[in-house]
Amino acid sequence: MPQKIRQHRYQPPPGATELLLFRHGESAPADPDHRFPLVDGQGDPELAPEGRAQAAAIAARLKNTPLDAIYVSTLRRTAETAQPLADVLGLRPEVDPDLREVHLGDWEGGLFRQKVAQGDPLALRLRAEQRWDVIPNAESRESLGSRLVGAVGRIHARHPGQRVAVFTHGGVIAEVLARASGSEPFAFLGADNGSLSHVVVVGDTWTVRRFNDTAHLDDDLSISGSPQS
């Protein structure tokens, strides 16, 4: 009798690094009369109360999940989102400057939100052309992609065969998943605050496992039960 071959659940290839990509929690609202403080030219708001609740939900979901490291960007909203999980797991977050959000040029400090809310023609053009650098002095996709390839490569080199939580930004997650999938640049733009996306990296191959998973924000705190974990 020929041997029967079952379908098996996905397992990362040997030596692969699993990146659990979390968008930071909701940050403080933009105030037209007071721009956000800047860090290296980029807006650096703190978390809003809603964002702190999202950070706590992430920690509750991953409290029993084996993790080998936590990474954050230079902007405090990622560090503040990561801290509850770091406290639960006893891990010290590592800062990688290349995980910072796309630089929005003349629209930094909260102005980007205002322009989008107002339906500014340049904001509409940005979406239509899927290019950040339609904003004066904003970062190009080439620059963003280059530094993210470097950041992902470094994390992979440090953590082969391991699982890592990366607390970063919406524009970063969109670019990583676009490169992993070969999609249009903005196909994955719009990850919710506090959401989980999942990429497996082995060598130069990046594989998308999930996008915008918000189960932990909907009172489902199980990561192991996810069909794509």
CB 60 within 8 A of CB 216: yes
Q: Which of 101, 108, 139, 175 is catalytic?
A: 101
Q: Would residue 101 show up in a list of annotated catalytic residues for this protein?
A: yes
Contacts of 4 (CB under 8 A, 6+ apart): none
Give the 3-state secondary structure of residue 11.
coil
- For 206, phi then psi, to 5°, come to -115, 130
Q: Which of 24, 103, 156, 169 is catalytic?
A: 24
Q: Give dist(CA 120, CA 60) in Å, integer.
A: 39
CB 32 within 8 A of CB 114: yes
Write down the residue that tokens 């639960």 correspond to.
88
Q: Would residue 94 show up in a list of annotated catalytic residues for this protein?
A: no
Residues labelled catalytic:
24, 101
